[in-house]
Amino acid sequence: MSALEILLWVVVPYVSLAIFVVGHYWRYKYDKFGWTTRSSQLYESRLLRWGSPLFHFGILFVLIGHVMGLGIPKSWTDAAGLSEDAYHALAIGVGAIAGFGTLVGLAILIYRRRTVGPVFSATTRNDKFMYLVLTVTILFGLSNTVLGAVGHEGVDYRDTVSPWFRSIFYFDPQPELMTEAGLGFQLHALSALVLFAIWPFTRLVHVFSAPLGYFTRPYIVYRSRDEQLGNRATPRGWDRVGGGRR
Ligand code: HEM
């Protein structure tokens, strides 16, 4: 095992994941009010209406694909009776459509961000760098899928990349597996690790702020000076907010 192998496939992943976790904690603690998508819908919505759903639905399916491809060992899908060919046909079909959707969506979003003045002005330096790393990661990922689909002489990522990825979380890293994986997968994984390290300092934090309260909150909050709202008992979810004089 070489020093470079250990650096790239053990040190970099753990440093990246540590920054990801501690960085989110730090950002939440010290920049709670900056924890936002930095929405720009007010400035422009025509391009956003196409770019945003394409990107977000695309990336959702890419995520589901990664959870399956990286998280589920090959032996499990074999045991479930899913043949190798059927697995790859499914992964390449769904993966390529989802990947292209994501890429086209992202291209529209970046074009919009660059050409619509107020949107560009509202883009932080960190976010500009994040768009670059995100684009590169998606391009490398998609090129791996496409090369796999046209049958290039490659290694099966479920024998190399996936067990390496899981080994990181078992705290039993196996860097040599990534050396076998080939350059395309190596570049994709490395750019993803850079993305994870910068994630907490960009607008990507919004991924972890699902507005779950929206399902249960009243659709509008009325405030009244009176203790009693009308002559009926206060319905559930409409309790007074805070105390003292309003
Ligand atoms: C260390 C983390 C990651 C690993 C090990 C990894 C691994 C892989 C592998 C093995 C493939 C090929 C799938 C196939 O040929 O069917 C792939 C494809 C892809 N990856 Fe990743 N990936 C990682 C993170 C990411 C991230 C963070 C993004 C996007 C932000 C991303 C976006 C893509 C895309 C768009 C594809 C192409 C097709 C698809 O799966 O939909 N990957 N990735």
Average pLDDT per block of 10 residues along the chain, 246 residues long:
95 98 96 88 94 97 95 92 87 92 98 96 95 98 85 76 97 96 95 98 92 74 66 74 55
Give the pLDDT confidence score for residue 84 in this predicted structure. Answer: 84
Alpha-carbon torsion angle 32, 38, 41, 45, nearest 10: -150
Give the pLDDT confidence score for residue 49 in this predicted structure. Answer: 96
Q: φ, ψ for residue 71 (rounded to 5)?
A: -90, -30
Catalogue all structural domains in the chain, each as residue range(s) with its CATH number: 3-215 (1.20.950.20)
Pocket of ligand 1, beta carbon within 6 A: 62, 65-66, 69-70, 91-92, 95, 98-99, 102, 134, 137-138, 141-142, 144-145, 148, 157, 161, 165, 185, 188-189, 192-193, 195
Give the pLDDT confidence score for residue 146 in this predicted structure. Answer: 87
Alpha-carbon torsion angle 209, 214, 216, 221, nearest 10: 120
Report which protein residue has its CA nearest ligand 1's atom 21: 141
Report which protein residue has its CA nearest ligand 1's atom 13: 145
pTM of the model: 0.86
Report which protein residue has its CA nearest ligand 1's atom 25: 192
The answer to whether the CB of 101 falls within 8 A of the CB of 57 is: yes
Give the pLDDT confidence score for residue 246 in this predicted structure. Answer: 44
Give the pLDDT confidence score for residue 242 in this predicted structure. Answer: 64
Choice from 20, 188, 193 to test ligand 1 binding pocket (greatest atom count within 8 A of CB)? 188
Give the pLDDT confidence score for residue 136 in this predicted structure. Answer: 98
The answer to whether the CB of 218 falls within 8 A of the CB of 237 is: yes
